[in-house]
Amino acid sequence: MHALKKSRPLRRVVLASAATVSGMVLLLSLKPHTSPVPATADAKSPSVSSSSAPSSGSGSSSGSSSGTKTVSKAVTGDTVQTRWGPVQVRVTILSGRLTDVTAVQYPSDNPRDQEINSYAMPQLRREALAAQSADIDMVSGATYTSTGYKQSLQSALDSAGL
């Protein structure tokens, strides 16, 4: 009998077992995420709120006080739908400077999202405050969230006039 015509049952068993194990590993390594929730109609337009507080006077008893007021404005950016969920940012502007950035919405439905965003959100906030714009670096491992963060931040800054 010719060598190519011999049946090789052991080889078939090993190949079938390896294929089955590989398939199971790939199947179990999938990380399901919840599907994104559609944005509501009010999320289309950014909201703006402002408050004015009198600036602290010199405290002198000469009676001359300036009527200058410092205006603080809070603007919420558009809700950006990402692959893993919505991202929305609120900024606070004081005297034309970006003083605070808060993530209003971000993916946090499962432990993996929470883990990623626990380090991504503070890093994105620091970047935005340092740059005073939406021209910030992406966070490695949080690409979709970083992209949504930048888009929402830019819409908030546009609405605030910066």
For 45, which DSSP code? S
**CB-CB contact of 160 with 91 (8 Å):** yes
C-beta of residue 98 within 8 angstroms of C-beta of residue 86: no
Check pLDDT > 50 for residue 61. Answer: no
Q: Assign 113 a pLDDT band (cuts: 50, 70, 90).
A: confident
In sequence order, the 6+-apart residues with CB closer than 8 A to the CB of 107 are 33, 82, 84, 85, 86, 87, 113, 116, 117, 145
Q: What is the pLDDT of residue 18?
A: 92
CB 151 within 8 A of CB 64: no
Which domains, and CATH codes, for the chain?
A: 46-52+70-160 (3.90.1010.20)
pLDDT tens column, 2-42: 555 567 778 888 888 999 999 888 877 776 555 544 444 34
- Angle (CA) 130-125-143 rounded to 5° is 110
Q: Tell me, what amino acid is at 44? A: K
Distant-in-sequence, close-in-space partners of 125: CB < 8 Å, separation ≥ 6: 101, 102, 103
pLDDT for 139 beyond 80: yes
Which of the two residues, 150 and 7, has the higher pLDDT score?
A: 150
Report the distance separating Cα 102 and Cα 6, nearest Å: 70
* pLDDT value of residue 84: 86
Quote the tokens at residue 71: 């205006």
pLDDT exceeding 90 applies to what percent of the chain? 13
Is residue 136 a contact partner of residue 148, using CB atoms and an 8 Å limit? no
> pTM for the full model?
0.59
Please determine, for residue 110, whether its predicted confidence score (pLDDT) is greater than 80.
yes
Q: Cα(157)–Cα(160) distance, rounded to whole angstroms?
A: 5
pLDDT (mean) for 99-128? 88
Instruction: Give 62's pLDDT tier (boundaries 50, 70, 90).
Output: very low
Encoding tokens for residue 145?
């969230």
Q: What is the pLDDT of residue 65?
A: 45
